[in-house]
């Protein structure tokens, strides 16, 4: 079975883009793969966070992943900071990456424009991400489209390291879904739906109640020409609604477009489909959240299983680069 690894930041409320672009597939494919998923709390520190909120969100995201279908018995679910080898390998990756290639990362360029204080961690973020992936001999990384460049960097770093020090890392590849890889904000459909965009009316949260989902989709920005066709450039708002409905019903957006002549019924069907798709997750989350110790227990077991893989891998890396033995 192929080793699969992916991560999610505990930085805000999980939204429909996270779900359709990443999390839904993690759950669907966990039994066909050797799956490891990680709540990347260290990545969250690249931007200052309220400590109590970071703790609460780490637990919440963990339970949401389980509510979305991840089975911590069958796969590994853990928090990045519980396995110190991530930061240890991140240093080696910082020394493998060049300043130039980190400067070319689009996410860094965008996030550093918005941040009042640009931390050094925001710049080296992709080196930590490469460490996350390479530590587990990962073959496939299921992510949304925005992470393509980071995973390509991880590939380059693995190849560079292997060239310098001998075969050490598996060279990973990203797996990006054909539909749903880039869900856009409903109010600003040229920007991706994001935890950090601060657009409450444009973001569907996985825990939104049916009324909120219906309202947000009904008020989603479209255009005035009234023609239903899938055209990302000319009609980004409508294309986004078609992508959402297509992703939820496992169809192609072009095929969905052919079924409609008006925006109203398309919006109504998209809202109903999203409500139905999220219902089981919401019910399961309510049950899990009733137990205050649930997330801790899941993460503790996950960290033990993750360390059993990460510790020997890191020992191999230390030996390869010429660090002397600790024992
Ligand atoms: P932030 O806004 O804080 O950067 P985010 O909303 O982009 O957060 P992440 O935790 O960075 O979410 O991403 C988790 C996963 O969800 C990643 O695989 C990412 O590619 C995917 N993802 C995020 N936003 C979208 C989106 N709008 N459409 C599809 N996939 C997405
Ligand atoms: N940078 C990613 C989160 C992330 C990740 C990873 C994804 C951290 N480490 C390893 C895949 C593999 C993001 O912002 N979505």
pLDDT digits (tens, 9 = 90+) for 13-68: 999 999 999 999 999 999 999 999 999 999 999 999 999 999 999 999 999 999 99
Distance of alpha carbon 55 from alpha carbon 292, whole angstroms: 13
Query: Hey, what are 164's tokens?
Result: 């310098």
Give the model's pLDDT for residue 115: 85
Residue nearest to atom 6 of ligand 2 (CA): 7
- The percentage of residues in the chain with a pLDDT greater than 90, rounded to a whole number, is 96
Identify the helix (H) or strand (E) that includes residue 317. Answer: helix 294-321
Give the mean pLDDT of 258-269.
97
* Ligand 2 closest atom vs CA 43: 8
pLDDT of residue 85: 98
Residue-level pLDDT at 105: 98
Q: What is the mean pLDDT of residues 264-291?
A: 97
Q: Largest Cα–Cα distance in the chain?
A: 71
CB 247 within 8 A of CB 176: no
Q: Which of 192, 216, 235, 267 is catalytic?
A: 192
Structure confidence at residue 38 (pLDDT): 98
Check pLDDT > 80 for residue 270. yes
Asked whether the beta carbons of 4 and 29 are under 8 A apart, the reply is yes
Active-site pick, 57, 195, 216, 235: 195
Task: Match 């033995």 to its residue by tokens.
Answer: 325
Q: Distances from the Cα of 102 to the Cαs of 50, 135, 153, 157, 307, in angstroms? A: 27, 20, 9, 11, 28
**151-160: long-range contacts, CB 8 A cutoff, minimum separation 24:** 153/97, 153/101, 153/105, 153/126, 154/126, 154/129, 154/130, 156/101, 157/93, 157/96, 157/97, 157/127, 157/130, 158/130, 158/134, 160/96
CA proximity to 95, closest of 48, 45, 150, 157: 157
Average pLDDT of span 247-257: 97
- Rounded to whole angstroms, the Cα distance separating 323 from 321 reads 6
The mean pLDDT value of the chain amounts to 97
Q: Nearest ligand to the C-alpha of residue 11?
A: 1
Mean pLDDT of the 213-237 span: 96
Looking at the CA of 23, which ligand is closest?
1
Average pLDDT of span 316-324: 97
What is the residue with the minimal CA distance to atom 5 of ligand 2?
A: 7
Three-state DSSP state, 177:
coil
196 with 110: CB under 8 angstroms?
Answer: no
CA-to-CA dists, residue 287 to 17, 168, 171, angstroms: 24, 43, 39
Q: How many C-beta atoms lie closer than 10 Å to residue 318's C-beta?
A: 16
| Closest ligand relative to 40 C-alpha | 2
Concerning whether 259 is annotated as a catalytic residue, the answer is no
Cα–Cα distance for residue pair 157/92, rounded to 1 Å: 10
Ligand 1: list residues with CB < 6 Å: 8-9, 11, 17-18, 21-22, 143-144, 146-147, 181-183, 192-196
| Residues having CB within 6 Å of any atom of ligand 2 | 5-7, 9, 40, 43, 129, 132-133, 141, 143, 147, 150
Copy the structure tokens of residue 247. 């992703």
What's the pLDDT score for residue 214?
98
Tell me whether residue 111 is one of the annotated catalytic residues. Answer: yes
Q: How confident is the model at residue 114 (pLDDT cuts 50, 70, 90)?
A: confident
Residue nearest to atom 4 of ligand 2 (CA): 7
pLDDT of 326 > 90? The answer is no
At 327, is the pLDDT very low, low, confident or very high (cuts 50, 70, 90)? confident
Kindly name the residue from 57, 109, 111, 235 that is annotated as catalytic.
Answer: 111
CB 168 within 8 A of CB 316: yes
Q: What is the 17 CA–ligand 1 centroid distance (Å)?
A: 6
Examine the residue annotation and report whether 211 is marked as an active-site residue of this protein: no
Q: H helices within 4-138, ranges in order?
A: 16-18, 24-29, 41-44, 51-67, 85-94, 99-103, 106-114, 120-134
> Could you tell which of 11, 129, 134 is best to mutate to test the pocket of ligand 2, judged by most ligand atoms within 8 Å of the CB?
129
pLDDT at 198: 85
Q: Are 183 and 195 in contact (CB under 8 A)?
A: no
pTM score of the predicted model: 0.96
Q: Which atom of ligand 2 is nearest to the CA of 132?
A: 10
CA of 129 to the centre of ligand 2 (A): 6
Position in ligand 2 atom list of the atom nearest CA 8: 3
Q: State in Å: Cα 212 to ligand 2 middle.
A: 28
């Amino acid at each position: 079975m192929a080793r699969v690894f992916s991560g999610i930041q505990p930085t805000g409320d999980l939204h429909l883009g996270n779900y359709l672009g990443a999390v839904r597939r993690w759950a669907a494919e966990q039994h066909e793969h050797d799956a490891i998923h990680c709540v990347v709390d260290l990545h969250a520190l690249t931007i200052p966070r309220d400590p109590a909120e970071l703790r609460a969100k780490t637990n919440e995201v963990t339970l949401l992943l389980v509510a979305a279908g991840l089975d911590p018995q069958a796969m590994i679910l853990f928090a990045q900071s519980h396995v110190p080898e991530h930061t240890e390998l991140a240093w080696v990756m910082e020394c493998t990456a060049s300043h130039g290639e980190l400067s070319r990362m689009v996410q860094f360029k965008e996030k550093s424009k918005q941040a009042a204080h640009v931390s050094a961690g925001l710049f080296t973020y992709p080196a930590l991400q490469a460490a996350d992936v390479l530590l587990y001999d990962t073959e496939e990384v299921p992510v949304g489209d925005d992470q393509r460049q980071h995973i390509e960097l991880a590939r380059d770093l693995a190849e560079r390291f292997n060239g310098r020090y001998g075969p050490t890392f598996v060279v990973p590849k990203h797996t990006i879904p054909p539909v749903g890889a880039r869900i856009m904000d409903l109010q600003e459909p040229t920007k991706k739906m994001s935890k950090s965009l601060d657009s409450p009316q444009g973001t569907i949260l996985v825990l939104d109640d049916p009324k909120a989902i219906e309202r947000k989709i009904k008020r989603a920005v479209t255009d005035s020409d009234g023609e239903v066709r899938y055209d990302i450039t000319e009609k980004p708002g409508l294309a986004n609604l078609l992508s959402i409905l297509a992703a939820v019903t496992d169809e192609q957006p072009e095929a969905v477009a052919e079924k409609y002549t008006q925006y109203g019924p398309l919006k109504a069907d998209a809202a109903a489909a999203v409500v139905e798709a999220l219902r089981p997750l919401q019910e399961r989350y309510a049950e899990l959240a009733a137990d205050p110790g649930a997330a801790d227990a899941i993460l503790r077991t996950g960290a033990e299983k993750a360390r059993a893989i990460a510790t020997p891998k890191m020992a191999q890396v230390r030996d390869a680069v010429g660090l002397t033995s600790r024992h």
